[in-house]
Amino acid sequence: MLKNLLGMNLNNLLAIAFTSVFTSVIFGQEHIDLKDSVLIQDLDEVIVTATRTVRQLSSVPLPVTLISKEQLRNTGVIRLNEILNEQTGIITVADESGFDGVQIQGIAADYILILINGVPLVGRSAGNFDLSRLTVGNIEQIEIVKGPSSSLYGSEALGGVINIITEHPKDDKIHGDASYRFASFNTHDINVGVDQRIKKFGYSFFANSLYSDGYDLFPEVVGQTVPEFNNHTFNGQVFYDFSKNMKLFASGRYYRQDQDINLLIDEELFEGSSDIKESNMQLRLDHHVGNELALQYELYYTNYMATEFLQSPVTDALFSESDFDQYLLRPEIRATYTIKPKHDLTVGVGFNQERLDRTFFDEEVRFDSEYAFVQYDFYPLKKVNLILGARYDNHSAYRSQFSPKASTHWKISDVVSVKGSVGYGFKAPDFRQLYFDFTNSAVGYTVLGYNVAVDKVLELEAQGQLLDILFDLEELGEPLEAESSIGYNLGASYTKGKVRLNLNLFRNDFQNLIDTRAIARQINGQNVFSYANFDEIYTTGLELDIHYKVSDRLTLSGGYQLLYAKDKQKRVALERGEVFARDPRTLQTVVLDNSDYFGLVNRSRHTANTKIFYNIPEWDVHMNLRVNYRSRYGLFDSNGNDILDTFDTTFVNGYALVNLALNKTFSDTYTLQLGANNLFDYRDADNIPGLAGIQLFTRIGVNF
């Protein structure tokens, strides 16, 4: 209670401070500078993720989104998930497991690869990568490539790739920045960074600390919705140029989070902790041989450890304990050969070794895979760019994969260009789907990984635990297939004067999606589940982005995504009249058809954003207002027919979140930022526990 009061007072205080500065800025602005210079769009923006070579953004034949450092700074976000949520067609959602993950073009988090400086991050919870693990404090640029990119990146890159590029030292002066941000819920975010380049040698160090009291949407229930947490990120980078043609980059990153958790079960309170430790080490040597050949040798290691336990504070009895320890080792060599200007051939070979040891596994499991990829990026015609690529992955635990991709960009004029791509993407069955051995003690069902299912079922059979086995066990001897998709993107862009417009139509056809099914029945009436390939889904729709630079001061932008995400087999069953629902009023059963089918869970038909950026250069003031909307979506099937339909009661109302930030720079060195996330305090505690109420913040920063 006391804490709540304090929190409230703090919010009020911040609100007052904010409002006064804001109003003084608005009303203090008496003269309007009409000097409207020729507006130059950002023509020098480059992206490396799309092709693994440096490419000019406007010429890339794929749907891409770039988030600049400037945008990160000006919006006052602190974590990656916050800024991604403001991009067209990208949202973070909690799935059935309750964990948050990112969704792109309606494709779930399991199928989106997260990279840092081109190398993958591991450590997922039920397939979701928690993007709030990543601070934006030392990010130079975030690059998002939508659509399948397995032709370059292999597994997991079905729905897209998010690549975080960290800051590099720029010159021989020591540059440092430090900032402190204080926000609602007693949240403190501290960043310290320093970098320098002295001739051949460069370095950068960065540290971030985030502490929060968390928040509680259900004060009447013991325990908080999000308990207090504290995490730290450290990143050190070293650069050394042996010569003009031989450059070394080494990076080490460490992340750690500690959180006390508690859980109330049958009026008994259990307490414990949930801790995460993550480390990444990357070593890269860039070697130019003449002007034509560029070689990159890369060695990467990452480890992710999560431990969690809950016990009774009264009896010390352990309620649950889980460990998760995953590591990835990856050497990779890439070569880009420039046959002639704008004709680049890239080849790469690499090796992945992954290990995972966790609770509910019998023993540590290990995957090995070797891979090679090739890409030819060329201009068959003067204004037509074509990129052909393919990758081959040979894997120790599932069938090898061949992932081709073709994309093209045609610059019709300086104003209009069109682009299109077709690509294959896949996701290898993960460790859990292959090796899990879990029995729910409360209900009594069992979930088995595919590779251990046959042995475990025979074991249960021998113990007399089974009523019957529902499948021919020999059938389960065939290896589980990788989940795969074919993605199509067709886009056009229009750039003239102050207006930039991008339109993209997309379709992703997924097959062999892995889901659980009952394979045996136990004498306790519960099922033994295992994983199988059976779902076929599609996501299709369009994305539209409009960017309008009204003047030097004012920029407006808007984005919209229309999305249809459905299960193909369910559509067929509906077509045949085989899907039913019970009318809750009459309790009578009715036949459903496709017009009753809402689509996959957690997908909003419409998502949209609007942003207003306003500069007052003479005062070194920048403000922005961002509105993000998502329409109604369903959480899960509630009426037993395994689809979301018009009779389901688990829909979440559409909502918009408004974020506001105000920046003032003093003598190029000091910055003051005030802002509010979720300005109108939108909450839906029952359906979206991850959505806290209004968060006011203020930040002071210094650059030197």
Partner 1 sequence: MKSTFQVLSFFLLSILFFSCENDDDALPSEAIESRTVSNVPAPQTGGPPSEDPVGGPFTKFSFATATVTTSDTEWDIAFRGTTIAINGGVPTGTNDEPVRNGEAAAAIATGTFPSVTDANDLSFIQDSENGFAIPVGSDNGWYNYNPQVNVIAPIPGKVLVIKTHDGKFAKMEILSYYKDAPAQPDGFVNESRFYTFQYVYNPNEGQTAFE
What is the closest distance, in whole angstroms, from the C-beta atom of residue 321 to partner 1 in the complex?
19
Q: Does 96 bind partner 1 (CB under 8 A)?
A: yes
Q: Which is nearer to partner 1, 198 or 264 (CB)?
A: 264
Q: Does 441 bind partner 1 (CB under 8 A)?
A: yes
Q: Which is nearer to partner 1, 56 or 589 (CB)?
A: 589
Find the binder of partner 1 among 20, 400, 524, 569 (CB under 8 A).
Answer: 524
Identity of residue 696:
L
Sorted by sequence, the CB contacts under 8 Å of residue 309 that are 6+ apart come out as 272, 273, 318, 320, 321, 322
Positions in 23-62 near partner 1 (CB under 8 A): none
Q: Does 122 bind partner 1 (CB under 8 A)?
A: no
The residue range among 242-250, 423-431, 436-444, 505-513 that interacts with partner 1, by the rule CB under 8 A, is: 436-444
Q: Which is nearer to partner 1, 447 or 661 (CB)?
A: 447
Q: Does 320 bind partner 1 (CB under 8 A)?
A: no
What is the closest distance, in whole angstroms, from the C-beta atom of residue 592 to partner 1 in the complex?
9
Task: Say if residues 633 and 651 touch (Cβ distance below 8 Å).
Answer: yes
What is the closest distance, in whole angstroms, from the C-beta atom of residue 527 to partner 1 in the complex?
5
Strand order in the sheet with 119-120: 64-68, 139-146, 160-166, 112-116, 119-120
**Alpha-carbon distance values, 670 to 26, 27, 179, 642, 660 (Å):** 21, 23, 10, 56, 20
Q: Does 688 bind partner 1 (CB under 8 A)?
A: no
Number of Cβ atoms within 10 Å of the Cβ of 78: 25
Positions in 610-639 near partner 1 (CB under 8 A): 635-639
Cα–Cα dist 250/201, whole Å: 12
Q: Which residue has the tokens 């990452």?
A: 302
Q: Which is nearer to partner 1, 81 or 522 (CB)?
A: 522
Q: Which is nearer to partner 1, 9 or 440 (CB)?
A: 440
Q: Which is nearer to partner 1, 498 or 582 (CB)?
A: 582
For residue 547, what are its two tokens?
């960017």
Q: Does 687 bind partner 1 (CB under 8 A)?
A: no
**Alpha-carbon distance values, 594 to 64, 468, 575, 651 (Å):** 33, 35, 7, 18
**What are the E-state strand segments in 213-292?**
229-243, 246-265, 268-289
Q: Which residue has the tokens 């789907």?
A: 433
Q: Which is nearer to partner 1, 187 or 641 (CB)?
A: 641
Task: Say if residues 239 and 248 touch (Cβ distance below 8 Å).
Answer: yes
CA 329, distance to chain mean position in Å, is 22
Find the binder of partner 1 among 222, 467, 572, 700 (CB under 8 A).
Answer: 467
What is the closest distance, in whole angstroms, from the C-beta atom of residue 536 to partner 1 in the complex?
20
List helix spans (H) across 370-470: 431-435, 450-462
State the DSSP code for 486.
E
Cα–Cα dist 322/272, whole Å: 11
For residue 375, what are its two tokens?
């890409």
Q: Which is nearer to partner 1, 5 or 442 (CB)?
A: 442
Q: Which is nearer to partner 1, 527 or 673 (CB)?
A: 527
What is the closest distance, in whole angstroms, from the C-beta atom of residue 587 to partner 1 in the complex?
4
Q: Which is nearer to partner 1, 586 or 667 (CB)?
A: 586
Task: Say if residues 45 and 67 touch (Cβ distance below 8 Å).
Answer: no
**27-60 core/surface letters (b: 16 or more CB in 10 A; e: else):** eeeeeeeeeeeeeeeeeeeebebbbbbebebbbb
Find the binder of partner 1 among 28, 219, 313, 444 (CB under 8 A).
Answer: 444
Size of the site for partner 1 (CB under 8 A): 36
What does the per-residue mask of binding to partner 1 show for 572-591, with x meaning CB under 8 A? ------xxxxx-xx-xxxxx
What is the closest distance, in whole angstroms, from the C-beta atom of residue 591 to partner 1 in the complex?
6
What is the closest distance, in whole angstroms, from the C-beta atom of residue 262 to partner 1 in the complex?
19
Q: Which is nearer to partner 1, 212 or 527 (CB)?
A: 527
Number of Cβ atoms within 10 Å of the Cβ of 266: 4
Cα–Cα dist 548/557, whole Å: 6
What does the per-residue mask of binding to partner 1 show for 526-555, with x meaning CB under 8 A? xx----------------------------
Q: Which is nearer to partner 1, 167 or 648 (CB)?
A: 648
Q: Does 521 bind partner 1 (CB under 8 A)?
A: yes
Question: What is the phi/psi pair of residue 569, to 5°?
Answer: -65, -35
Q: Which is nearer to partner 1, 364 or 583 (CB)?
A: 583
For residue 488, what are its two tokens?
């199509």
What is the closest distance, in whole angstroms, from the C-beta atom of residue 650 to partner 1 in the complex?
8
Find the binder of partner 1 among 42, 642, 681, 686 (CB under 8 A).
Answer: 642
Task: Say if residues 483 and 434 touch (Cβ distance below 8 Å).
Answer: no
For residue 695, what are its two tokens?
């968060």
Task: Say if residues 280 and 252 touch (Cβ distance below 8 Å).
Answer: yes
Q: Does 525 bind partner 1 (CB under 8 A)?
A: yes
What is the closest distance, in whole angstroms, from the C-beta atom of residue 512 to partner 1 in the complex?
22
What is the closest distance, in whole angstroms, from the C-beta atom of residue 221 to partner 1 in the complex?
13
What is the closest distance, in whole angstroms, from the C-beta atom of residue 653 to partner 1 in the complex?
17
Q: Which is nearer to partner 1, 641 or 695 (CB)?
A: 641
Cα–Cα dist 47/70, whole Å: 16
Q: Which is nearer to partner 1, 477 or 640 (CB)?
A: 640
Q: Which is nearer to partner 1, 297 or 580 (CB)?
A: 580
Q: Does 593 bind partner 1 (CB under 8 A)?
A: no
What is the closest distance, in whole angstroms, from the C-beta atom of residue 433 to partner 1 in the complex?
19
State the DSSP code for 171.
S
Task: Indicate the length of the chain as a whole number.
Answer: 704
Cα–Cα dist 215/226, whole Å: 5
The residue range among 5-13, 63-71, 314-322, 435-443 that interacts with partner 1, by the rule CB under 8 A, is: 435-443
**Alpha-carbon distance values, 371 to 84, 137, 493, 503 (Å):** 30, 33, 35, 34
Cα–Cα dist 639/646, whole Å: 10
Find the binder of partner 1 among 226, 238, 299, 518 (CB under 8 A).
Answer: 518
Q: Does 685 bind partner 1 (CB under 8 A)?
A: no
Task: Say if residues 78 and 695 touch (Cβ distance below 8 Å).
Answer: no
Find the binder of partner 1 among 30, 267, 468, 474 (CB under 8 A).
Answer: 468
Find the binder of partner 1 among 37, 243, 649, 667 (CB under 8 A).
Answer: 649
Find the binder of partner 1 among 221, 523, 685, 700 (CB under 8 A).
Answer: 523
Cα–Cα dist 352/300, whole Å: 10
Q: Does 443 bind partner 1 (CB under 8 A)?
A: yes
What is the closest distance, in whole angstroms, from the C-beta atom of residue 268 to partner 1 in the complex?
13
Q: Does 641 bind partner 1 (CB under 8 A)?
A: yes
State the DSSP code for 131.
G
What is the closest distance, in whole angstroms, from the C-beta atom of residue 159 to partner 1 in the complex?
25
Contact positions vs partner 1 (CB under 8 A): 96, 441-444, 467-468, 518, 521-527, 578-582, 584-585, 587-591, 635-642, 649
